Amino acid sequence: MWTFFHKLGSPPWLYSIAGAILRWLVPITLIALVVGMVWGLLFTSPDFRQGNSYRIIYIHVPAAVVALAAYYVMAIAGAVSLIWRIKMADVAMKAAAPVGAALTFIALFTGALWGKPTWGTWWVWDARITSMLILLFLYLGVVALYEAFDNKEAAGKACAVLSLVGMVNIPIIYKSVDWWYSLHQPASIRFTGDSTIDASMLYPLMLMIAAFYALFTCCLLMNMRAELLQRESRTQWVKKLVSKRDRR
């Protein structure tokens, strides 16, 4: 167990293991995304009340779910780097932020496009939607804050604190549809009790949620690899890596 943690702190080991994971995870992710999108777009029947506009669910819900999960990853990595000063946690935190921002943007943008035919408006200052917008700003804030510091150690600390403070927003997003009167509907998929969504729609949705989780993992690992290369560009293992690549 401890040797595992010890290895996790080693940049060359992390770089190569991430590469090995990506070699099979990237193709699986892309196939799952294509299958899920085609399934949702062409092979499911329309919703009896919303018609075809509901097909946006297959990207809107997965993007929103994983945007929240990505925030946990970022905040936990931030906490770990603050408390135990583990450099790799700082790398993970920085790698998660832009991906989380992209996912949150997808959720908001597709939500607006779905809102127009369903609620008759692109945007409302509704609890769920506003708290998601705050999530987007938190992600962008972490990205910008990191760039604002010349001292990267100070940048890491500031970003970790920001992402931890931003954690307050997460339960607000989850509970916003229950606490406030909201246009946004409550969750249709429940782990306890019956889901209020038909199986024919649930399966492609589950596939897309899995695909978005895989997408986030891929992007997180790729960002971490790039970040490791930059931080370690003067070390021997990167030079060895480069000469191996040159010979090919």
Residue pair 63/106 in contact (Cβ under 8 Å)? The answer is yes
d(CA 120, CA 53): 12
Tokens found for residue 136? 């987007």
Stretch that binds other proteins, among 66-74, 86-94, 159-167, 213-221 (CB under 8 A): 213-221
DSSP-based helix, strand, coil % in the chain, nearest 5: 80, 0, 20
In order of 31, 44, 94, 106, 188, the CA distances from 41 in angstroms are: 15, 7, 34, 17, 19
Q: Which of 98, 141, 156, 166 binds other proteins (CB under 8 A)?
A: 98
x/- mask, other proteins, residues 42-81, rule CB under 8 A, reads xxxxx----xxx-xx--xx--x------------------
Q: Which of residues 17, 25, 69, 109 is near other proteins by CB under 8 A?
A: 109
Interaction between residue 41 and other proteins (CB under 8 A): yes
CA distance 138 to 182: 22
Residues at the interface with other proteins (CB under 8 A): 33, 37, 41-46, 51-53, 55-56, 59-60, 63, 98-99, 102, 105-106, 109-110, 113-114, 116-117, 215, 218-219, 222-223, 225-226, 229-230, 233, 238-239, 241-243, 245-246
